Structure 1
Amino acid sequence: MSKPRKPKGRPISGWLILDKPFDLGSTEAVSKIKWLFKAQKAGHAGTLDPLASGMLPIALGDATKTVPYVMDGRKIYEFTVTWGEERSTDDLEGEVTQSSDLRPTEEAIRSLLPKYTGTINQIPPQFSAIKIAGERAYDLAREGEAVEIPSREVEIFRLTLLSCPDSSTAHFEAECGKGTYVRALARDFGRDLGCYGHISELRRTFVAPFAEDSMVPLADLTALEEIEDADNRLAALDAFLIDTSEALSNLPHIVINDDQAHRLKMGNPILLRGRDAPVAEAEAYATARGKLVAIGEIGEGEFRPKRVFG
């Protein structure tokens, strides 16, 4: 019987909050970070288009188990809409499909925003990662196939017009929930205003629970390749990592001792004692000595592990 293959790379865990540059795909960015950190595993929490810049949270190692909690978080985008053209991709990359000489007034733009605030129905772009009959919509679109993508509910918590630099452009900020396509907002704004529109600039500045000042430019990381000593280089890179538990800051938290941590890592429940012990929680996380041990549920005086961390 052959031995299981040892995973390549370091068993390092944590979050790297990358400031993704323009013209770099999210998958490409993850591969670059995985290679730089020599990590065994890596994944991201929410795709950013190549033509978009900004916050791309990348999970390394065990932190990949916490990706769903970040995917569900609120996001903030700053974006510029250029009026007069609708494009196949709803951004600069696509071909012009509709055009108009009309331009909206600032008053008309502001009066439109309440319609797109709150829970709204949105049809994702043709060029999107939505699956249609098992295939990605963007794959079908690239083959020239027009597909009907059903609308879905998304939540826009805040939508602000920041400025109108000229008659052909408007700059916005949006705080929204999971699954919102900012490109679709630009498309729908343009249609409602009768002038068409597309995204000409897009930047993500926030993905809950990570703040904007936690972002690290890719250039700051690649500059460390000049450090010849591998141990020193990796130590310098590791200094940019955020502890895995930061992704769970919206969940209830319990602090446990070493014996309890050992039990949880073996897959066993632990008793919760004390007047302040939580009674029932669908999800919570436990730490020992400041390190994440497990995510689980609390009920009947017990913490029952669902996912454990090394």
Structure 2
Amino acid sequence: MGRRRKGRDISGWLVVDKPAGLTSNAVVNKVRWALDANKAGHAGTLDPEATGVLAVALGEATKTVPFVTDALKAYDFVIRLGQGTNTDDAEGEVIATSDARPSDHDIKEALQGFVGDIEQVPPQFSAVKIDGERAYKRARDGEAMEIAARPLFVESLILLDRPDADHARLEMVCGKGGYVRSIARDLGRVLGCHAHVDHLRRLWSGPFDVAEGIAFAEVERLARTPELDAYLLPLELGLADLPEVHATAEGATRLRHGNPGMVIASGLEYGETCWASLNGQPVAVGTFRGGELHPSRVFNLTEGA
């Protein structure tokens, strides 16, 4: 018999304003402990030195993580011009320098080439797998790897400010899998001056905004208290980009057992992904087919979760 996971059966989201110096997994582990939750995960890694929105899913909300991961995200970041590093951020070793400094006009012109559907090569120090091993592990051993370019959708990329000749502050809204460090590196190459990320902050991720986040220090201060529970957001926020349909009582019973169930919907197309609720409580996510929802994920929520 497998070991039973300890902790409370709580489901929902806690949006943490992650500080610099912590890994995303360290934040998740602290949140899980602080809420005494039996299950937790996050919707999109932030580099250790990055700050901002880290949406932590608890309990049944972990089943909605892919829908948040796929959503658009916004970043406010500062790049250091004139220096390239081996990690493409300020934590790495400087491996290239240049005395050239682009004008604001040059930067704005170059940014246009990074908007829309682009191809992006992840940094050498990244979590992508190369022959089954994380790239950053091989990079730490001094190995230079050929990493294949990956598609990325960038909705917008704008110059916000130019604090001085060596720095530029940008804002980017992009889809899943975007590396801000790669944007900085490639922008530096296009401008002919090298560049890396100096500071990075995630402003929002899908439906979750940094304005509604709780500081990590507060998570620690309020650990194991009802006050921390009050910061929990409902599970269904992770489904904000999907249409909602309403299950019948009989349909909900069938859905909870993993079977197609009758739902009431309007304006949906056959084959569209949606989620079903009953009396305001999420029941399942799945594919709409002719008056029924065919479930791919079923929520096993306790009363009041």
2:18 maps to 20
Residue by residue over 1:268-290, the C-alpha shift from the partner in whole angstroms, topping out at 9 and shown as x without a partner, is 3222458x374523311111222
1:160 maps to 158
> CA shift at 1:106, angstroms?
1.2
Between 1:146-155 and 1:297-306, the stretch displaced more is 297-306
Shift in CA distance, 223/179, structure 1 to aligned 2, threshold 3 Å: same
> CA shift at 1:102, angstroms?
1.7
1:253 maps to 244
Conserved 8 A contact 1:79-1:172? yes
Conserved 8 A contact 2:247-2:263? no
The equivalences for 1:30-179 within 5 A come to 30-179=28-177
Q: Secondary structure at the match of 2:163?
A: strand
> CA shift at 1:218, angstroms?
1.1
Conserved 8 A contact 2:24-2:47? yes
Aligned partner letter, 1:303: L
How far apart are the structure 2 equivalents of 1:21 and 1:5? 33
How far apart are the structure 2 equivalents of 1:279 and 1:169? 48
Aligned partner letter, 1:205: L
State which of 178, 186, 189 in structure 2 corresponds to 1:188.
Answer: 186
Between 1:28-37 and 1:248-257, the stretch displaced more is 248-257
Instruction: Count how many residue pairs are aligned between Structure 1 and Structure 2.
Output: 300
Quote the RMSD (CA, aligned, Å).
1.6
Q: Does 1:236 align with 2:227?
A: yes
Q: Secondary structure at the match of 1:281?
A: coil
Between 1:187-196 and 1:3-12, the stretch displaced more is 3-12
Aligned partner letter, 2:237: E
Q: Secondary structure at the match of 1:178?
A: coil
> CA shift at 1:173, angstroms?
0.3
Conserved 8 A contact 1:279-1:301? no
Conserved 8 A contact 2:79-2:199? yes
Aligned partner letter, 1:291: Q
State which of 285, 295, 302 in structure 1 corresponds to 2:292.
Answer: 302
> CA shift at 1:87, angstroms?
0.3
Aligned partner letter, 1:169: H
> CA shift at 1:237, angstroms?
1.5
Q: Does 1:205 align with 2:195?
A: no
Residue by residue over 1:184-240, the C-alpha shift from the partner in whole angstroms, topping out at 9 and shown as x without a partner, is 111111111111111100000010122332211112222214xxxx5xx1x222211
1:285 maps to 275
Q: Secondary structure at the match of 2:222?
A: helix
Shift in CA distance, 132/288, structure 1 to aligned 2, threshold 3 Å: same
Q: Secondary structure at the match of 1:172?
A: strand
> CA shift at 1:112, angstroms?
0.8
Identical-residue share of aligned pairs (%): 46
The TM-score with structure 2 as length reference comes to 0.94
Which stretches of structure 1, 4 residues or longer, exceed 4 Å deviation after superposition?
none
> CA shift at 1:259, angstroms?
3.8
